Structure 1
Amino acid sequence: MSNYDQLHRQCRTLENLFDAKLTSYSQLVPALSRPQDVEANGSSERWRDLEVELEDLETKLQEINDQLGELAGKPELLSTSMLRAIQRHRELHRDSVREFRRTKGNVKNALDQANLLSGVRNDIDAYKSSAADSLLAERGRIDSSHRMTDDIIDQARETRSEFARQRTSLAGINARIGQVMTTMPGINNLIGMIKARRRRDAIIMGVVIGICIILLLSYMRS
């Protein structure tokens, strides 16, 4: 009797503790399916601790139920209410184990979903980062192209300004030459005389060369 009473009390205590732990364990399922909640409240560590505790309690309950089962094998030592209590402990243990297995599967599914969502989120973040880098690189190339265009435009403006300065300088030179020609009219006559002498010298030289050629040809024939 004393052995039954001790096992009965231990079994009730473990059953209540197992039920409380299992309730806390099952309440983590919604949080585990959301990666942000897992990181915020440390659910990833709590579910492992609770799972280990529940497995330990399950083992202890199994041992006590086995001991109660051995007592139930001696019905002459127990009353009908004791046998019913032992049967009830066995049924509660079986139901608790089945609920624990189901909740454990839900936790695994929630973790798989959280990992999937985390992977998708990481892929999205990586894509956004890559797209942002591409946009920044493209913007850099556009800015570089704009700077190059501005440099070319500045060079073209400088070249046009240089041409304008040279044109102004040449116009000034022509104006000064025109002024010199106007103030010194004898220069035109001098230039004309030089040109006339050059033409005359060229004519004389041509006549002399022609006569020499004719004389040379006549000498060779004779």
Structure 2
Amino acid sequence: MALTIAESTTVPIPPKSPVPSLTHLHHHSTITTEFDPLRFEAAASLQLQPNVNKEPSTHLIASPYNHPAHLLDISGLERQDRLFSLALSYLKPIRNDYATAPYTESFNWTEVFGLVKAFSETEEHNWTAGSYYVVIFRSILLPDIDNDRLYALDAHSHREAIASGGLLKYWFGAKNENRRNLATCIWRSRNDARLGGKGPWHAQARAAAAVMYEEIKFTTLRLDIHDGVKGWELSDWKDDA
């Protein structure tokens, strides 16, 4: 899938100054397990609210799955990766046609990168330019598929991916009236994505694609966050990047 102009344009970051908890989170059990609030209302961000309860945690809800085996342990991340993963807990779509709309126009990216900047300032950290590996899945589901099987394949594949330690965010939407959907992963690196996708459930998911999808397209992008979080840019991934 070719990138649109909007998807390769550098966007300036507006200032923002929240005061969240950036190290100790509200325990995931205090947050809903329902998919829709996690996908469409960024419910995971409630873990960062001030006045942490008596059982603070370092395990972040980093997908629509709020269960222990699906959580990201931020204590094992480098500072910039931790701050970015926390900002990604606020990620949510801002238009209903995200399944077909340009990727950069479908989510609240301006807010997310504004938070990366604000979180860095809160920790008095000078953000240095870095890149991440982004995967986009656009699909058309076949009618009358086995939804329980689809859920199992996705959930178990995510458990494999999160166990590798390099998956900072996984998001998927709800199919529209034409059975189209969007899912996306944000990894620390291309190598992390390779390692995270090697498990047996990923192999089963790939094998089941022919009986689950009328069409599925994968796009891989390089996400660059500039020095001081003064801008960000998405571009086509090149294997030598």
TM range (shorter): under 0.3
- Going by fraction, where is helix more abundant, 1 or 2? 1
Normalising by structure 1, report the TM-score.
0.19
Structure number with greater CO (CA < 8 Å, separation at least 6) is 2
Instruction: Give the alignment's TM-score, normalised by structure 2.
Output: 0.18
Of Structure 1 and Structure 2, the greater strand share is in 2
Pair member with larger Rg: 1
